[in-house]
Homo-oligomer: A and B are copies of this chain.
Amino acid sequence: MTAGQPRADAAPEVGGRGVRMPRRERREQLLESALGVFVAQGYHAAAMDDIAERAGVSKPVLYQHFPGKLDLYLALLEVAADDVIANCRDALASTQDNRLRVEAAMGVFYSYVADAAGAFRLVFESDLTSEPAVRAQVDRVTSECADLIAAVIHDDTDLPHAESRLLAVSLVGMAQVSARFWLAEHGDTEGGIDLEVASALVSGLAWRGIRGYPLHD
């Protein structure tokens, strides 16, 4: 068996076949199963049959909770996007020290990528970017995180809005790409770089880059 196609039906199927369940709880169950399948296979390769099977229900029940495949995907994507944006906001608000802000924000991206559920793949590696609604959510993550960072930069320096925003996007890109590569190369093996070490290293790069700009006051 090749390692390129991780099968998605290895879940324990907590709510087994034919079990009556409250609608709210079942909806959560379906979302969880769908996340697993979308993360493992991507949007196009994921079949509604797979999702239903993994959730331990049949396809009609799935369609009783979600009008279609796209709606299901968007529901998951929106949650994943809100999650990282909120964490980024909290990280920036957690301190007034900009150096610590950089470290905290970097840690948010690394933790997000390291999360076992793998929801970050919906945001950073989506295969449905041709769909405008998906594109909007994906772009929203970088855009809103960058806005939060840009506000800090703009407050503390003399840089105009547009320039602050471009620098903020650069920092977000640095965090996002490096975190994904860290996961791919060192995330699973024990011989690689630890998450905290990697996050601190890249935080250092980011802080050295951003700290030198002229202060506002």
For window 81-128 of chain A, which residues contact chain B by CB distance below 8 Å?
125-128
Chain B residue numbers with a CB within 8 Å of A212 are: 208
CB–CB A42/B170 < 8 A: no
* Chain multiplicity (copies): 2
Is A167 interfacial (CB-CB < 8 Å)? yes
Chain B min CB distance to A41 (Å): 6
Q: Which residues of B contact A167 (CB under 8 A)?
A: 201-202, 205
How many angstroms between the C-alpha atoms of A175 and B208 in the bound complex? 17
The answer to whether B129 and A42 have CB atoms under 8 Å apart is yes
A212 to B209, CA, bound (A): 9
Chain B residues closer than 8 Å to A206, beta-carbon distance: 170, 209
B residues less than 8 Å from A210 (CB atoms): 205, 208-209
Judged by a CB distance under 8 angstroms, whether A163 is at the interface is yes
The 17 sampled A-B contact pairs (Cβ below 8 Å) are A44-B128, A45-B130, A127-B128, A162-B186, A162-B192, A163-B201, A166-B198, A167-B202, A167-B205, A170-B205, A171-B174, A173-B174, A173-B181, A176-B177, A177-B177, A205-B210, A208-B212
**Given A4-B132, A142-B177, A208-B209, A166 and B202 touching (CB < 8 A)?**
yes
A169, CB-defined interface residue at 8 Å: yes
- Tell me, rounded to whole Å, the shortest Cβ–Cβ distance linking A110 to chain B: 11
Closest 6 pairs between A and B when the two form their complex, measured CB to CB: A173-B177, A209-B209, A42-B130, A170-B178, A174-B174, A127-B127
User: Do B166 and A201 touch (CB < 8 A)?
Assistant: yes
